[in-house]
Chains A and B, each alone.
Chain A
Amino acid sequence: MKLANLNPTAAPPDTKVASQTPAAAGSGKLRFFARGLVPYAYLSPTVILISVLMIVPIAMVVSYSFKDNVIVEENPVLVGLANYTKVLTDPDFLVALKNTFVFITVSTVAHLVLGLTFALMLNTSLLGGVTKAVFRIIYILPWLFTVAVIAVIWRLLLDPSGVVNYLLTTVGRMQQGVDWLSDPGTALWALTFVNIWAGFPFFMISILAGLQGISSDLYEAASVDGAGAVRQFLNVTIPQLRPVLVSMAVLDLIWTSQQFALIWMTTGGGPLNATEMLSTYTYKQAFSSYEFATASASAVIVLLLSLVLAFFYVRLQKER
C-alpha cells in the first residue's frame, strides 16, 4: 500500500458518467437533480450536528465579544471592539500567548521526536513479536488515563517531597530537590514535560502505522544501491512518512493549544504567571472575574489563531 496519496477530498475519478443511453434522456433532469443531492444527503447528519452544536455556540461567543456585561446583566450594551483592545493590551494576555507558543511548539516537537524514535524501535525486525507487543502496551499506557488523573499523578510525583526529588537527591547526586511545578523558572518546562508524557502515544501509534505501510520493496531497492541504515532512514523512511508527520504535527499543535484541564489542575497558571496559557487566561476571565465579554473576545482571538493552523492543514491536504 502506497503512502503517496491523498487528499481525502479528491475522489477517484468517476468512470461511469458516460453510460447514457437515449432511453434515459427523458428522466435526465430528475436524474440529474437526484444525483446532485445524494452526496448532500450523506453529509446531512454531519452538517446538522455541526451547525447546531458548533456553529451556533461559536456565533454566540462572537456576539458576546462585542458587548459589555454579557450574562451578568440582563441587557448588555454593544461596545464594538473595546473588549478586543482590552484583551490585546493586557500584559497577562501577552504572557499567556508567549507561554502557549512555547508550550505547544516544544510539546509538538517532542511528540514528533519521541513518537518517531519509539515507533522505529517498536518496528524493528530485531526483536520478537511478543516482546514488541509487550512494549507496545507499556508505551500506550499514558494514553489510557483521563487528564484529571494525569494531573494528580504528576502533582504527586513532582511534589517537592515526592518520588522524583527523592530519586534525584538519593540515587542521583542532586544536593537539593527542585520545586518543579512551583518554581517560576521550571514550572513551564515541568508542565510541558507532563504534556509530552501524556500525548506521545497517539503520535507513536500513528507513526508506527505509517512505518508499517512503507513497502519493503523500497528498502530492498535502497539496500541494493548500497544504502546503510542511516541512509535508508533519510532517503526512504522520512520521505515516505512525511505526510503523516506533517499532518500529525499540525493536528497536535491544534490539540495542544486547547489543553486546559491539565494546566488548571497542576499549576492553575502559576507560579506568578509562568504557566498562564490562553486557555487558563480565558477561563479566569470568565469564571473568576465574571468578565464574560473579555473572555469571549479572548476566545475569539484563540479561535482565529487556531483557524490559521487549520488553514495550513487544509492547504496541506490540497497539495497532496
Chain B
Amino acid sequence: MHTRKRRRLGAKIAVFTGLCLGAAFAGLPVLWMLSTSFKANGEVFQVPPRLVTENFSLEAYRSILGDPDKLRFFVNSYVVALSVTALTLFVAILAAYGFSRYEFPLKRSVNAVIISVQAVPPITLVIPYFGLVVALGLYNTYPGLILTHIVFTLPYAIIMMTAYFNTLPKELDESVKVDGASSWTALWRVLVPISVPGMIAVGVYTFMISWNEYLFALTLTRTDNMRTVPIGIQLLMGQHSYEWNQMMAMSILGSIPVLVLFLLFQRRFIGGLTSGAVKA
C-alpha cells in the first residue's frame, strides 16, 4: 500500500510538472504582452529585457479608455459579435432541427454544401464579396459585417447543433406533437430549453470567431465608427511606428470579454461540446 501511495504521489508530481511546462508554453507570451502594455514605448526592446521596468505605468490603458474613438471600437465589436451570436444560434437551431428530425430528398446534398462552404478560403472571396456587399448597400454598416460573419460561423454551428439535437431522444418532441402541438412549438418549448449547454458551446465559439475576425472587418468597413477591435489594434501600427504599449493594452482589453465569457461558461461550454459537437 505504501508504494502505491508513493507511486500516486509520483504521478501527481509528474502531471503537475507537465501542466506547468504546458502553461509556460501557453502563458508566457501572454505574460510578455501584459508586461509590454505597462512599459513606455522606448523600453520595449530594452536589453536586457525586463518584465517590469522602472517606468511602470497605466498610461496606455488610460489613453485607450479615455478616448471615445477607441472605445467606439469596443462598442462596435460588442454590437457585431452579439448580433452574430444571436442570429447564428437562431438560424443554426432551425437548420439543425431540420437535419436532425427530418428525412428529405436533398438532405445529403445540402449537408455536403454546408460542410464544403467551410473549405472556401476567405482570402479568395474578398474582391467579389466586396462588390456584393456594396451592391446590397451594406458596405460600412453593421448588417454587412454581421451577415458576413454569420456565413463563416454558421456551418460549424449547424454541425455542432445538429449533433447536439441528435443526442436528444426523439420521443421528447414527439410526445408534445402527439398532443397536437406543432413541430415549431416542440422545437422551442421542448428541445431548446434542454439544449442550453449545446447552445452555450455554439454561442461561445461564434462570439470568439466574430470578435476576433480581421480580414473582412477590415475590408468591409471604412470609417472608425464601424470598425471593430482587431482593426483598432492595427490602426495603432502606423506607417512609421508601432505604439507597442497601446497595442498590447488594447489586446488585453479586447480579450477580457472573451475571457469572462469563458470563465462564466467553461463548464457548460465543455459540457456542450461533450454531448454534441465533438461527434460532428
Binding site for B on A (CB under 8 A): 1, 3, 5-6, 8-16, 36, 38-43, 45-47, 49-50, 52-54, 56-58, 60-61, 64, 71, 114, 117-118, 121-122, 124, 126-127, 133, 135-149, 152-154, 156-157, 159, 161-163, 166, 170, 197, 200-201, 205-210, 212-213, 243-244, 247-248, 251, 254-255, 257-258, 260-261, 278-279, 282-283, 286, 292, 295-296, 299-300, 302-303, 306-307, 309-311, 313-314, 317, 320
Contacts and interface: CB of A to CB of B under 8 A. Distances in A.
B11 interface: yes
A11 B116 contact: no
B71 interface: no
A189 to B, nearest CB: 16
Given A126-B11, A142-B26, A143-B208, A38 B183 contact: yes
Nearest to B165: A8
Given A71-B127, A248-B278, 9 more contacts: A6-B167, A36-B104, A126-B8, A137-B262, A153-B251, A205-B269, A205-B273, A206-B278, A247-B280
Scoring B33, B104, B118, B279 by chain A CB atoms within 10 A of each residue's CB, the highest score goes to B279
B214 interface: yes
Interface of B: 8, 11-12, 15-16, 18-19, 22-23, 25-27, 29-30, 32-33, 36, 44-45, 47-49, 91-92, 94-104, 106-108, 110-129, 131-132, 147-148, 150-151, 154, 156, 158-159, 162-163, 166-167, 169-171, 174, 177-178, 183, 208, 211-215, 229-230, 233-234, 237, 242, 244, 247-248, 251, 254-255, 258-259, 262-263, 266, 269-275, 277-280
Nearest to B167: A1
Contact of B124 (A45, A207, A302, A320): A302
Nearest to A143: B208
Nearest to A7: B166
Scoring B16, B119, B255 by chain A CB atoms within 10 A of each residue's CB, the highest score goes to B119
A43 B278 contact: no
Main secondary structure of the interface of B (DSSP, over half): helix
Contacts of B91: 45-46, 49
Contacts of B126: 286
A278 B120 CA distance: 13
A306 B233 contact: no
A102 to B, nearest CB: 18
B212 A303 contact: no
Contacts of B269: 205
Given A46-B114, A60-B128, A260-B122, A138 B214 contact: no
A207 B277 CA distance: 11
Contacts of B115: 310, 313-314, 317
A39 B125 CA distance: 30
Closest 10 CB pairs of A and B: A299-B124, A42-B98, A209-B273, A306-B119, A39-B102, A60-B128, A8-B162, A57-B128, A144-B255, A146-B212
B18 A121 contact: yes
Contact of A38 (B102, B162, B230): B102
Contacts of B230: 146-149
Contact of A146 (B29, B117, B254): B254
Nearest to B130: A57
A64 B171 CA distance: 51
A43 B107 CA distance: 10
A282 B123 contact: yes
8 contacts: A5-B166, A6-B279, A121-B19, A127-B12, A282-B124, A286-B126, A310-B119, A320-B279
Contact of A8 (B244, B254, B280): B280
Nearest to A37: B104
A295 to B, nearest CB: 8
A311 B65 CA distance: 47
